[in-house]
Structure 1
Amino acid sequence: MTDKTDRPTRGRRSKIDLLPDEVKRLLDELLRDARYSQQEVLDAVHDHIDQLGLPEDIKPSRSGLNRYASRMEAIGKDLRDVREVSQALVGQLGDKPTGEVSRLILEIGRTQLFKAMMNANEKEGDVDIGMIKDAMLAAQRLESAAMQSHKREKEIRKAFADEAAAAAEAVAKKAGMTAETVSSIKKEILGIA
C-alpha cells in the first residue's frame, strides 16, 4: 500500500497557491510569526478575504493550511540546515569570508566528482574512457572557476584597500600629518591587498 504523500499528483494547484498575491503575502507573513497559532492565521486570512470582498470558495480549509504550513516549515528547515552546513564547511575551507559561497560550491563539486568516479569504478570495475574524459573536463572547469573566484576576490580586496588608503590619506592630511607619515599609512593599508 502506498502512502498518499508518495503518490504523484496531476500538478493541480492548491487553494492556497491560487490565493491573490495580497492574501498570500499576509498568510506567509503570519505563518512566519510564531506568536500566531494556525487557527489564528486561518481566521485572519478568512477575515482579510471577507474585507476584500472576495468569494467564499477561495478561503483555504484548516487541513489545506496545515499542509501548506508543514510544507513551508519543511522547506524552511532544509534552508536552515543548508545554511548551518555551509557555514561549517566554509569555516573549514578558509578563514576569510569573501568568496565563501564560491569556495563551498567548488569544494562540493570536487567531492561529487570524486564520488562519481569512485562509484563508477566500483560498479564497472574499469572506468571507461568517456567517464575519464568527462571527469577531467569537469575538474578543469572546477579549477578554472576556482581561479576566477580567487582572481575576483583579489580584485575586490585591492579595490577596498585603494578606497581605504585614499580615505586614510585624506583624513591624515586634514589632521596635519607630514607627507612622510601619510605615505607610510597609505603603504601599510595597500600592503594588505
Structure 2
Amino acid sequence: MSIIQSKAKNRKSKVELLPKDILDTLHQLLRDGKMQQIEIVDVVNKLIADKGLPEDQQLSKSGFNRYAQRMESIGQRIRQAREIAEVWTHKLGDAPVSDMGKLLQEGIRALAFETQMDMAEGKISADPKSLNQMALLSQRIEAAAMVSHKRETEIRKAFAVEVSEAAEKVATQAGLTAEGVAALKREILGIA
C-alpha cells in the first residue's frame, strides 16, 4: 500500500466530518429505515445549508451510500455477535463461570491464531506494534487460564473438605471406627 493510499484510507469522509447534531440526525434516519437514502441525503443537505455551512460540505449520493453500506455492515456484525452471545449464553447459562471463561479463552486463542496466520500469509501487515500486542495477548490468555485453573482447584479442594467433614459425621454416627473414618476422609480428599 502506498503512502497516498494509506493517507486516503485514514481520511475521514464528509459524513464523519459533519457537526454532531447533523450526524446524530443522519444516524437516527438510517436506524429508522423509513426513508430512502436519497431522501436522507436531501434532508441532511438541507440541514447543512440551514446551518450556513459551506456548500462543499454537502453530501453526495455515492459518498453517503458508501457510508450507509459501511454502517450496515458494522450493524450486521454487531447483530451477529449479539445473536451468537445470546445462543451461547442460553446454552451455557447454567454452566459454571469457569466454563464460560474457558470458552472465552478458547475464542480469543482462535482469533489470535487466525490473526497470526493472516500476518504470516501477508494478508495483514506484521508491524512491531501488532507483534507486541499479540505477544501480550498470548501472555494474558495464559495468565487467565492459570488463574481459572487455580480457582477451580481451590473450589474442588474446598468441596472435598466439606464432603469429608459431612462423611465423617455420617460415618461416626453409623458406628464406623476412628480408623475407618480416617480412611474414608483420606479417600475423599485424595490423600495417599
TM-score (norm 2): 0.53
Give the corresponding residue for 2:58: 59
Q: How far off is 1:115 after superposition?
A: 8.8
Aligned to 1:89: 88
| Counterpart residue type for residue 77 of structure 1 | Q
Contact 2:101–2:148 (CA under 8 A) maintained in structure 1: no
Change (3 A) 1:106 1:56: farther
For 1:116 and 1:52, locate their aligned partners in 2 and report how far apart those are by CA, in whole Å: 47
State yes or no: 1:142 paired with 2:141: no
Counterpart in the other structure of 2:45? 46
| Mapped partners of 1:19, 1:76: distance in 2 | 20
Separation (CA, whole Å) in 1 of partners of 2:140 and 2:48 = 55
Structure with max Cα Rg: 2
* Aligned match of 2:17: 18
1:31 deviates by 0.9
Alpha carbons of 1:109 and 1:43: their partners in 2 closer, same or farther (altered >3 Å)?
same
Q: Map of 1:23-34 to 2, 5 A cutoff?
A: 23-34=22-33
Structure 2: gaps of 5 or more residues: 114-136, 156-192
Partner Cα distance (2:111, 2:53) in 1: 54
Q: What 5-or-longer segments of structure 1 have no aligned partner? A: 1-6, 118-133, 152-193
Quick one: distance in 2 between partners of 1:37 and 1:51?
A: 21
4+ residue runs over 4 A deviation: 102-106, 114-117, 134-137, 145-148
Q: How many Å separate the matches in 1 of 2:61 and 2:139?
A: 53
* Contact 1:110–1:142, Cα closer than 8 Å, also in 2: no
What is the root-mean-square deviation of aligned Cα atoms in Å?
3.8
How many angstroms apart in 2 are the aligned matches of 1:12 and 1:89?
38
The code of the aligned residue for 2:105 comes to G
